[in-house]
Chains A and B, each alone.
Chain A
Amino acid sequence: MNALKVKKMPNLPDASRPVTRMIETRQPAQISKTPRMQVIDLHAWFGKTEVLKGISMSIASRGSTAIIGPSGCGKSTFIRCLNRMHEVVRGARADGKVLLDGLDVYSPGVNPVRLREMVGMVFQKPNPFPMMSIRQNVLAGLKLQRIKRSDEDELVERVLRQAALWDEVKDILSRGGTTLSGGQQQRLCIARALALEPEVLLMDEPCSALDPIATGRIEELILELKSAYTIVIVTHNMQQAARVGDRTAFFCLGQLIEYNDTATIFTKPLNRQTEDYVTGRFG
């Protein structure tokens, strides 16, 4: 079983294999051309420090958008602005427009709580709630929003299957969520986000706390989910961006340097900085 998993995992970072090869072997994804989210001149601050200096980009419906860049370039801040998680931190604020299906999420009438229901998020460190069972963790979003559903059992099974976790936990649903391994916990967190049936799923370095095998599982999962969801994934692992991203954006020092098809970014980037970064000469 384990050996099979390792074998199934296609693209472990491998220096001998150029990144381009990986992209060519990947199935071309069906990307619809209508933008799901559109960011217009987004600025963000922590206190007096400006961490995003005017970002404009659009995120296509369905498919995955990878965001890469050196540490501190504002890539995490950027996706946290997409569901208004940035402003949760004391002293943080954002300015600009973020349109979800044409509606500005920063306009005064928008309740950030409702927004986050539609734009789900998975974090760097797996964080299932310790006092809740696996099942309760999956349903946590509904509970936190006082949503009652009669088909909870089916929902739990469906999203756990979507998160590729069902077979591993179907007999231990009442066990604590934190008894699982790191990779399973992260998939549980993905299931927890999926249970709210979000329009967009944001992932903030979802694999950086995981080992290569768990990382492979999560990447497979992202490849599956992107056919149904709009996924934005921040990663500091360029191979990962190459493997899971349909489109890739390169951020540096709070600015969007280049944004294009993943293949273009990694093979013939237009910008010198991007080229230096993806070839490992800086970053």
Chain B
Amino acid sequence: MTVQLTERPAGARTRASLADSRAAGAAGENAIHAICLLALILPLLLLCVLVLQAFLDGRDRLTWDFITGLPSRKAEAAGILPALLGSAYLMLLTAAIAIPIGIGAAIYLEEYTQPSRFASFIEVNISNLAGVPSIIYGLLGLEVFVRIMGMGRSLLAGACTLALMLLPMVIMASREALRSVSWSYREACYALGSDHWRMICKVILPMSLPGILTGIILSLARAIGETAPIITIGALAYVSFLPDSVNSSFTALPIQVFNWISNPKAAFHVNAAAGIIVLLTIMLLLNGLAIFLRAIYQRKAGQ
């Protein structure tokens, strides 16, 4: 059986298709280019306006006294130290609770479960939990931690609530990072006579650490700006003392800002703007740290 090949003059097809693509492709390509650029610039512009606005409004109040001062009824004398420290303690406690539980859960799900209906049920629910509005976590925290477990309106209750809110994100990021470690390294470990847990400790975790850290830091950056859950569990709006233990009542930066914004006196709005700058700075620093850590580990891994 022979196949009849149609003869064509050499290069005819090349010329035709090249000319074609140049004419038709260019207009559509440019349009998509423009739309994508617009999609990038628009949110960035809005963000810039917001930050600039806050900066212009608040820069006069942004002094060392403001950062180290206690709240006051007079706007000019008011500071954010209790809120700042409250936020810092809250983050530390939240991290201390969420990190071990989150990584542990991720390791269990990624390394020890067999694929089953139950496993996929849990998987779907963790993804759903990541999307649950934070106020719901606040209400849950109020009922479970503040009332049932009797923690009161304390730092600990706030941290537990925030940790609960972060867990789905931490678990998902950690699982993703664990999964990204190539199978060939697991094989290498097994072939070297490693048991499962040693392999996780010595090879899988170190290799997925950049991904896990990035996930944790990004979710902490989100948590530090959360207002709804800690308002719900009853953080105080006016705190003229510094938190001294995990059981002490507290306030946090977003609450302080919220409180000042809702104050009718215009002078407090300036304070709010200054507070926003501090809050944004902390978030940017945390995000920067995430990028920095990732870069360090990637360099180490790719040496």
Which of A131, A144, A196 has a CB less than 8 Å from the CB of B189?
Answer: A144
How far apart are the CA atoms of A131 and B300 in the complex, in Å?
Answer: 7
User: Chain B interface residue count: which class?
Assistant: 20 to 34
> Given A125-B184, A143-B202, A176-B300, are A131 and B191 neighbors across the interface (CB < 8 Å)?
no
Main secondary structure of the interface of B (DSSP, over half): helix
Min C-beta distance of B208 to chain A, whole Å: 10
* B192 adjacent to A144 (CB under 8 Å): yes
Is A121 part of the binding interface, using a Cβ–Cβ cutoff of 8 Å? Answer: yes
A-B contact pairs, 28 of them (CB 8 A): A85-B190, A88-B187, A90-B115, A113-B193, A114-B193, A116-B190, A116-B192, A117-B193, A123-B184, A125-B184, A127-B184, A127-B187, A127-B188, A131-B203, A131-B207, A140-B192, A140-B202, A144-B194, A144-B198, A145-B198, A146-B198, A176-B300, A176-B303, A178-B302, A178-B303, A179-B303, A192-B188, A192-B192
Is A38 part of the binding interface, using a Cβ–Cβ cutoff of 8 Å? Answer: no
- Nearest 8 CB-CB pairings of A with B: A176-B303, A117-B193, A144-B194, A121-B191, A141-B192, A127-B184, A116-B193, A130-B301
User: Chain A interface residue count: which class?
Assistant: 20 to 34
Is A175 part of the binding interface, using a Cβ–Cβ cutoff of 8 Å? Answer: yes
User: Which A positions have Cβ atoms within 8 angstroms of B?
Assistant: 83, 85, 88, 90, 113-117, 120-121, 123, 125, 127, 129-131, 140-141, 143-146, 175-176, 178-179, 189, 192-193, 196
* B188 adjacent to A123 (CB under 8 Å): yes
* B203 adjacent to A129 (CB under 8 Å): yes
How far apart are the CA atoms of A179 and B206 in the complex, in Å?
Answer: 18
How far apart are the CA atoms of A141 and B199 in the complex, in Å?
Answer: 10
Which of B188, B300, B303 has a CB less than 8 Å from the CB of A189?
Answer: B188
* B302 adjacent to A130 (CB under 8 Å): yes
Find chain B residues with CB under 8 A from A141 CB: 192-194
How far apart are the CA atoms of A88 and B187 in the complex, in Å?
Answer: 8
Q: Which residue of B lies closest to A146 (CB)?
A: B198
Is B20 part of the binding interface, using a Cβ–Cβ cutoff of 8 Å? Answer: no
Min C-beta distance of B207 to chain A, whole Å: 6
* B191 adjacent to A144 (CB under 8 Å): no
Q: Which residue of A lies closest to B198 (CB)?
A: A144
* A131 adjacent to B206 (CB under 8 Å): yes
* B202 adjacent to A175 (CB under 8 Å): no
Is B292 part of the binding interface, using a Cβ–Cβ cutoff of 8 Å? Answer: no
Is B185 part of the binding interface, using a Cβ–Cβ cutoff of 8 Å? Answer: yes
Min C-beta distance of B297 to chain A, whole Å: 8
> Given A113-B195, A129-B185, A179-B303, are A88 and B190 neighbors across the interface (CB < 8 Å)?
yes
Find chain B residues with CB under 8 A from A123 CB: 184, 187-188, 191
Min C-beta distance of B103 to chain A, whole Å: 17
* B191 adjacent to A85 (CB under 8 Å): yes
Q: Which residue of B lies closest to A116 (CB)?
A: B193
* B192 adjacent to A193 (CB under 8 Å): yes
Q: Which residue of A lies closest to B299 (CB)?
A: A176
Which of B186, B193, B194, B301 has a CB less than 8 Å from the CB of A131?
Answer: B301
Find chain A residues with CB under 8 A from B301 CB: 130-131, 178
* A145 adjacent to B302 (CB under 8 Å): no
> Given A130-B301, A130-B302, A176-B300, are A193 and B198 neighbors across the interface (CB < 8 Å)?
no
